[in-house]
Structure 1
Amino acid sequence: MNRFAGKVVLITGAGNGIGAAAARRFSSEGATVVLADYVKEDVEKMAASLPPERTMALFVDVSDPKAVEKMIADTVARYGRLDVMINNAGVHVVGSVLETSLEDWRRIASVNIDGVVFGAKYSLPHLIKSKGCMINTSSVSGLGGDWGAAFYCASKGAVSNLTRAMAMDHGLSGVRINAVCPSLVKTNMTKDFDAAVQEKFNERIPLGRPAQPEEVASVMAFLASDDASFINGACIPVDGGVTASDGQPKIA
């Protein structure tokens, strides 16, 4: 398929994991892809694997509004447009409110919430011009609570409801705004889970395994395509069936 030929797609957190998989997917379908990440070596290595004539790598801290504004300005200055904005950068902090520090909260809120707000604020004028779309990476933790991840759940809950509110505000301008909500995905964020923790996740996921980043990227590509032309304000679980459960244990 060549669904995104002539389109410009900007992805934050693109150096690895879901963001890198999204970069590969959109590029494979003809898009010009701008990869942004806080780890310079990761994003440059990832960009080097894609066609150079339609790939740009940027070193960006999404918690810095001026850096995000410049990221989007540089994208439009080079390519003349922006069609798809993917706010994917995120961090995770483990612990209850009592177990985690205010510094932990500031860190997770500045990346997971502020980063999406800044990305939305500075990309929307260009998306309105192109009648483009925005995709935010939320989480099943933004649809319901988790044990021992209070700050992360709060941040992803904010992303989910921000997605809904922006979809309402900007739909008449021709911009669709949706979110993907993964459960466990095999990324750098989860690679250090020990076997016992992994098995607990597998027991709760009806498909019995974590997602591959490419499986989340494929949903992003669908949401950005014309096939999703009437999908707006959706927070779509990409979770192997986790949110299908009412929470009761398996007894048979």
Structure 2
Amino acid sequence: MRLSSKIILITGGYTGIGRAIARRCVAEGAKVMVNGLEEDRGKSLVEELGAENASAFTIDITNPQAPQKLVAETLRTYGKLDAVVNNAAFIGSSNINTTDIPLLERMFAVNTIAPLSIIQAALPHLSKVHGCVLNIGSINAWGGEPNLLGYSISKGALMTMTRNLGDSLFREYGVRVNQINPGWVLTEKEILNKEQQGMKSDWYKDIPSIFAPAGRIFTPEEIATACLYWLSDECGPVSAQVMDLEQFPVIGRNLPKSWEGSH
């Protein structure tokens, strides 16, 4: 049991990657406080994992009181806090012409500012146990796509924050801060998003190799498995690191021969 006796707070944990992380953490011996926006999904997840292993707290993490409330509820329920997983994210398409200030402010509120606020609220308690923070970023943090401008900027800021706090908090408080940057993941929301964009319902069964050399994209469960190392004591003193979870080099690629000379 790699996470035995750990108490872990997971934002955006009612669906997708967050839900997979919650399931895997419980399977490895942890107890989890899971946050999300849809009350019914939270209740269903607690029923699945067992009330002795999981609790749900439904609140928008951009609510100014959310960080303190999430930490307080975790402490009230379990008595301590060993780790925070900042997984909640706002994903939306925008480019240079459509990225207006309100959209960008919303992106930063969810993807950058709220994670920082939650870390601030959790720090006094994480420091008592030399706990850790795992931020869930995106490979788009390295530059992103033209139609993911606002999202990419916010995830780039999150990555800089991880490296900064991973150094300063570990030195002063013994709290590790790391990040994983998943590539394309097959979540239920991603399936719905692509259908709304006009793609066929089973679009994920026929993805060009340029995007998925394996012939498929990642499952949430695969991302959750990667999180175990960073949340466990096996991680040792590793801090301020960012790990890309992708099928190809984010910087520098061997493109298929069919693409040679076409770009």
Assess if the C-alpha contact under 8 Å between 1:202 and 1:210 holds in 2. no
Aligned residues: 250
Indicate the residue corresponding to 1:128 in structure 2.
127
Asked if 1:179 corresponds to 2:179, the answer is yes
What SS class does the counterpart of residue 33 from structure 1 fall into? strand
**1:226 Cα shift?**
1.9
Indicate the residue corresponding to 1:236 in structure 2.
243
TM-score normalised to structure 2 length: 0.89
**1:140 Cα shift?**
0.2
Indicate the residue corresponding to 2:190 in structure 1.
190
Q: Assess, with a 3 A threshold, how the Cα gap between structure 1 residues 5 and 186 changes in structure 2: closer, same or farther.
A: same
Q: Assess, with a 3 A threshold, how the Cα gap between structure 1 residues 106 and 202 changes in structure 2: closer, same or farther.
A: farther
Larger radius of gyration: 2
- Amino acid of the structure 1 residue aligned with 2:256: K
After superposition, the CA RMSD in angstroms is 1.8
**1:100 Cα shift?**
3.2
Unpaired runs of at least 5, structure 1: none
What is the correspondence of 1:52-131 to structure 2 with a 5 Å cutoff? 52-131=51-130
What SS class does the counterpart of residue 165 from structure 2 fall into? helix
Indicate the residue corresponding to 1:16 in structure 2.
15
Name the % identity. Answer: 28
Assess if the C-alpha contact under 8 Å between 2:207 and 2:216 holds in 1. no
Indicate the residue corresponding to 2:138 in structure 1.
139
What SS class does the counterpart of residue 65 from structure 2 fall into? helix
Question: 2-side partners of 1:33 and 1:124: how far apart?
Answer: 17
Indicate the residue corresponding to 1:251 in structure 2.
257
Higher mean C-alpha deviation, range 139-148 or range 178-187: 139-148
TM-score normalised to structure 1 length: 0.93
Assess if the C-alpha contact under 8 Å between 1:88 and 1:137 holds in 2. yes
- Amino acid of the structure 2 residue aligned with 1:182: P
Indicate the residue corresponding to 1:3 in structure 2.
2
Q: Assess, with a 3 A threshold, how the Cα gap between structure 1 residues 96 and 201 changes in structure 2: closer, same or farther.
A: farther
List 4+ stretches of structure 1 deviating above 4 A: 195-202
Question: 2-side partners of 1:56 and 1:106: how far apart?
Answer: 30
Assess if the C-alpha contact under 8 Å between 1:184 and 1:210 holds in 2. yes
Assess if the C-alpha contact under 8 Å between 1:10 and 1:86 holds in 2. yes
Q: Assess, with a 3 A threshold, how the Cα gap between structure 1 residues 197 and 100 changes in structure 2: closer, same or farther.
A: farther
Q: Assess, with a 3 A threshold, how the Cα gap between structure 1 residues 38 and 202 changes in structure 2: closer, same or farther.
A: farther
What SS class does the counterpart of residue 146 from structure 1 fall into? coil
Unpaired runs of at least 5, structure 2: 259-263
Q: Assess, with a 3 A threshold, how the Cα gap between structure 1 residues 250 and 105 changes in structure 2: closer, same or farther.
A: same
**1:201 Cα shift?**
5.8
What SS class does the counterpart of residue 49 from structure 2 fall into? coil
- Amino acid of the structure 1 residue aligned with 2:236: S
- Amino acid of the structure 1 residue aligned with 2:226: V
